[in-house]
Amino acid sequence: MKIQRWIARREPAWQRLDFLLKKIEKKGIKSLNASEIQELSALYRSVSADLARAKTFEVGNTLTQDLHQLTTRAYSQIYQGPRGQDWGAIWRFYRWGFPETVQQTWPCTAIATFTFLLGGLIAWWYAWSDPAFIPSVVPPELITKVRDEQELWMGSIIGIEPLASSGIMINNMSVSFRIIGGGIIAGIFTLFILFYNGLLIGSIATLVGQNNLAYPFWAFVFPHGSLELPAIFLSGGAGLLIAKALLFPGNYTRVDAFKIYGLQAAQLVFGVVPLLFIAGIIEGFFSPNPSVPDPLKYVVGLLLFIVLIQYCSVRKQHQ
């Protein structure tokens, strides 16, 4: 496919669709006559096909992003129902929209994940080579519990599960929103929180490993961590999208970049909140439950992670 020739041939259709959409967005669908409505539907289908071709032939991120935004706007106008059917829009977002956003923004999420893992790896290295490192990161009462009493701290949740679960949710969402908000400071605070939390988890993991408590520790972490940690990484991706709009708007103006990347960040947030809610319930009621065998906790955590990966890999076929 001759890229420039194809763009020149298809650009009038894109501009016409954009014109019709702007008309609807300003005056409503009733501003179009019957022939324009039919034209809108036909243009949506053709531009959706153009988007698929743009992705297949890798014509460039900017053009692909523009076509994606155009088809998304058209889709919302063509398929939106009455206000009483807003639940349908929510269902479509969580079925298709959120996974699609995760796939489109994976480089930012990958950077966030790498930053966290780097912190964990550094903590593991220093914790084994320098005995003074763990006390500089891990709270002293936790060190006392593990080293002196040879116990984990999760037993404190037993008996106060509803209170603990709600507290865990609030804490996790607070961390998540700080990570996202850190993007406005060029992403520096986002990366700092991710790196520090990696240091903390890496230090704690090394501490329990040094005291032969790794197996029950990871049995506790796996069930809720399979959702909680990916949610934190996605929050990091959202924060870095905001930073990207600020630092690397590319061919967009910064205002347009904030609209595009800010929308993607918001979509990630809408997907992250339910993940943290579910993870909080699991961490409060299931993970610390002594009546649940540790092997079962490992299996549940692994299955939840597989389901999450499968869900985030879902692709919607544009008609």
Place of tokens 């790896």: 121
Alpha-carbon distance of 68 to 255, in angstroms, equals: 18
- The answer, yes or no, to whether residue 83 has pLDDT greater than 60, is no
This model's pTM is above 0.85? no
Mean pLDDT of 156-172: 78
Residue 152 backbone zone (phi > 0: left; psi -120 to 50: alpha; other: beta): beta
Residue 151: other Cβ atoms inside 10 A = 12
- The answer, yes or no, to whether residue 146 has pLDDT greater than 50, is yes
Domain segments of the chain as ranges: 3-80, 106-312
Could you read off the pLDDT of 261-299 as tens digits, one per residue?
888 999 999 999 999 999 999 998 999 898 999 999 999
Confidence of residue 221 (pLDDT cuts 50, 70, 90): very high
Could you read off the pLDDT of 239-267 as tens digits, one per residue?
999 999 999 988 778 888 888 888 899 99
Give the per-residue pLDDT at 34.
Answer: 66
Alpha-carbon distance of 144 to 236, in angstroms, equals: 32
**What single string gives the DSSP state of each residue in 163-185?**
HHHHHHHHHHHHHHHHHHHGGGG
With 0-12 / 13-18 / 19 or more C-beta atoms within 10 angstroms meaning exposed / middle / buried, residue 172 is: buried
- The answer, yes or no, to whether residue 22 has pLDDT greater than 80, is yes
